[in-house]
């Protein structure tokens, strides 16, 4: 069985993607898990490029790696996650997770075996079946417009929830409420008080006269 350079690249990308996916669920550090997921996305984009689906590869890198995963990475870094508490009871869920994973593997194997038994398509035909930018745009904004909008709303809610988790009130910091600052009025900022004019020299002279009169009123002691 002869292997072409494209086949070698496919197996390399696939192997790295599988290893990175395993590290996503096995690593203890959530930041490392997010970085391994970025690596898996890059290798998936490489496989899309081998299938001549450049648009899907670029979207995978720009949207998921460049926007979504970077945002989630910052959120994970800002959250104070108790890793030990999250790891409690991990082995208790292993049988259920293993059974679900086995079912998924069997289903995918059945689909791939059926496709393998059929006549193999050429690279040009496979690229035509995947579709380019124009074909994807027509399908997304016509046939799948509602699903596309629902997915956009779900992603927006997820991003807002991730940002809201980082908002914490700390007692050792000072902060200004922007809402109160906007609603403040002029009279709340400045108050003008009218006062009578004061002649400091006259007050000092009067105080001196009172002091002299008090000193004169004190009787002198006899010698």
Confidence (pLDDT) at 153 = 94
Q: Rounded to an integer, what distance in angstroms lies between the CA atom of residue 158 and that of residue 203?
A: 71
pTM exceeds 0.85? no
Token readout for 118 is 């059929």
Q: Rounded to an integer, what distance in angstroms lies between the CA atom of residue 109 and that of residue 198?
A: 97
Token readout for 216 is 């004169």
Q: Rounded to an integer, what distance in angstroms lies between the CA atom of residue 210 and that of residue 216?
A: 10
pLDDT along the chain (223 residues), means of 10: 74 90 83 84 86 81 80 71 64 76 78 60 54 74 89 89 73 73 76 77 83 74 52
In sequence order, the 6+-apart residues with CB closer than 8 A to the CB of 30 are: 76, 81, 83
Helix pair 30-50, 69-78: axis angle to 10 deg: 170
Confidence (pLDDT) at 150 = 93
Confidence (pLDDT) at 64 = 82
Structural element, H or E, at residue 49 = helix 30-50
Q: Rounded to an integer, what distance in angstroms lies between the CA atom of residue 70 and that of residue 34?
A: 9
Q: Rounded to an integer, what distance in angstroms lies between the CA atom of residue 60 and that of residue 54?
A: 10
Confidence (pLDDT) at 157 = 92
Confidence (pLDDT) at 10 = 87
Confidence (pLDDT) at 131 = 53
Token readout for 44 is 């998936």
Task: Quickly tell me which residue has 């200004």 as its tokens.
Answer: 176
Confidence (pLDDT) at 170 = 63
DSSP 194-208: ------HHHHHHHHH
Token readout for 176 is 């200004």
């Amino acid at each position: 069985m002869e292997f072409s350079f494209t086949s070698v690249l496919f197996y390399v990308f696939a192997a790295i993607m599988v290893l990175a996916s395993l590290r996503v669920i096995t690593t203890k550090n959530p930041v490392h898990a997010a970085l391994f997921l970025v690596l898996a996305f890059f290798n998936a984009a490489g496989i899309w490029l081998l299938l001549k689906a450049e648009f899907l590869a670029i979207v995978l890198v720009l949207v998921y790696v460049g926007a979504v995963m970077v945002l989630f990475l910052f959120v994970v870094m800002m959250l104070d996650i108790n890793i030990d508490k999250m790891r409690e009871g991990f082995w208790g869920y292993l049988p259920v997770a293993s059974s679900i994973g086995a079912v998924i593997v069997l289903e995918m194997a059945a689909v791939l075996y059926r496709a393998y038994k059929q006549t193999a398509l050429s690279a040009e035909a496979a690229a035509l079946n995947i579709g380019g930018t124009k074909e994807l745009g027509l399908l997304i904004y016509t046939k799948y417009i509602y699903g596309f909008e629902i997915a956009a709303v779900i992603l927006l809610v997820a991003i807002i929830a991730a940002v809201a988790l980082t908002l914490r009130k700390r007692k050792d910091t000072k902060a200004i409420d922007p809402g109160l600052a906007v609603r403040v009025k002029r009279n709340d900022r400045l108050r003008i008080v009218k006062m009578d004019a004061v002649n400091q020299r006259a007050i000092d002279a009067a105080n001196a006269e009172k002091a002299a009169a008090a000193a004169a009123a004190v009787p002198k002691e006899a010698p």
